[in-house]
A and B are shown apart, each in its own frame.
Chain A
Amino acid sequence: MARIVSLREAIAENVHDGDTLALEGFTHLIPFAAGHEVIRQRRRKLSLVRMTPDLIYDQMIGMGCAARLTFSWGGNPGAGSLYRFRDAIENDWPHPLQIDERSHADIASAYVAGAANLPFSVMRGYAGSDLPKYNDRIRFIQCPFTDERLAATPSIRPDVTVIHAQKADRSGNVLLWGILGVQKEAALAAQRVVVTVEEIVDELCAPPNACVLPEWVVSAVAAVPGGAFPSYALGYYERDNRFYKAWNDISRDRDTFIEWMQRHILQTADFAEFRALLGGVSLSGERS
């Protein structure tokens, strides 16, 4: 049964040092507010899982939260590189980051297998690619019926999955729509599920086939309006492309990055204060 709590409580109760933590949201509905709270609460040695690390894992990696990263595409979508992710891999800064690199199709399949309580996922993939040479979690098996060679990878079963959604009701049933990515699968594959939502409403009014996570699979729900910024929430606000572009300049240099994170994340009490602080700042990248 989902508890409706503050984001601070939701993270404090559900995300612990050393956990395998998945924050999902495929360009859309990225749980930025929750990621910031993980950074504020100084979580360490996390095994992070996310198809597209995006800015949120760039921030978490740069702030030293991560020991390990499972991912499939690590760029700043439409805007450039993830410099903190690259610095960790290229230069072990702020410390070495173990990587478990896969493809999108694989991670999606591995969440499906995790949600289905299976030990591994099976797919047609990786034939001829160098990825299996460098990742011993990508293996090949023979189909017991047809003898076909298929790729097998371990299921992804996070200790905690965190997602952002449009709405929850007062019991904690969660409704999301638009680009759904792997959120449902990542949630159902996890031991604990934290959801931030744009709003908590009396009635979800969800059509019968809508993507709803029932309250009894969700551990905690926190209302965080705008909590996916600078990504977007369909029906609420658009992606802030200027922020994605500005991130290149904020993150390229270690000192600039740390200073920005100190001021905007560590020295703000919560996401609302972070947004208020950003409010007056031009993000067009024309500050200098």
Chain B
Amino acid sequence: MRRQLEGSQAVAQTVARCRPQVVSAYPITPQTHIVEGISRLVRSGKLTGCEFVNVESEFAACSVAIGASAAGARTYTATASQGLLYMAEALFNASGLGLPIVMTVANRALGAPINIWNDHSDAMALRDCGWIQLYAADNQEAVDLHVQAYRIAEELSLPVMVCMDGFVLTHAFEPLEVPTQEQVDAFLPVFEPRQLLDPDEPMTIGAMVGPEAFTEVRYLAHAKHIHALDTITQTAEDFRERFGRASGGLLESHHTAEAETVVVALGSVLGTVVEVVDELREQGVSIGALAVKSYRPFPAQELSLALRAAKRVVVLERALAVGAGGIVSADVRNALWQHPIDVHTVIAGLGGRAITRKSLRTLLDSAAGGTLGELEFLDLRREIVERQLQPIEAGERPGPHAESILRELGAVRAEPV
């Protein structure tokens, strides 16, 4: 039954139906509504058999999850932004230990300057921490991905991050279908850990591995991720059969096969992109869109197959590798190494800047017209950056840009009055 629900509440209810046994929680905007929702479900007795642990940091949130998962509990936590970075060390540890933790990341920018709004800097910064990273295009998919995430995680003994755009999805009210308890129970088998801390069968977990075998351990971690491509696909297919709707998987094509220009994107911007793509197609522009749902593992072969007929690819990125450029586009270029396809990087929607149809139209017009550069910034306020760059080009030593811009815009008083 569809209900009008906030994305966070729908995720909280869905996670509860996955019957987590330990949930560790630490507040950070814009993730907080999710763990608040789960806390209510535990306190009200609607979610039973679950220990809700209020921890003192995200580092502890992930660490509690590590301990709980190693002791055989189905485990959940959620975070965003600085919180994800604060648990960075534990993230690598959880994947290295092969613990099937599921975590929601309510994607948010990273500071400084501090910024609470949406972009993908957080999850992108931790893209190589060994977790599976799934990106939800809308709230229904965010809901569905959590159910799939547990199945994937527990089948592979790997932790899974479900990335959903902070605010844009977490705080949006929409008609959503929360899977019923019966549906989830039928889809998600009882958690049977592959290794377990148990006095009946004592085992050492987390021992040191030296140069003799460390390369092999990493190789096998990579092999497991590559294997996960199949698991993710099969899980999405099975989900579609049982739930009657498509969610998750590796990629989602929108008129990709016959398009000259294809926009590649992750997350909630897909909705707006598809709107613009459809408008342009009606005007006769040969254009399509490709959503990357699984970013780690990266479906390189599938992506290259989906894009083989394209002339150019515009990768719309909500994060920036400072000093290098695009992050996702680097993976896309790698995947397309055998194809003569132009790959353009467009950095958009950083720190909560809205990605509008109007801007996308202009962007895609110039892409279709062949005038798009290799690296572009959507809606960049050139007057601001140029005023900052001029003195530097004139030989002045650069200082901190955030403060300099704020001073110029008058938000921070430079001189005492």
The reply to whether chain A is a binding partner of chain B is no
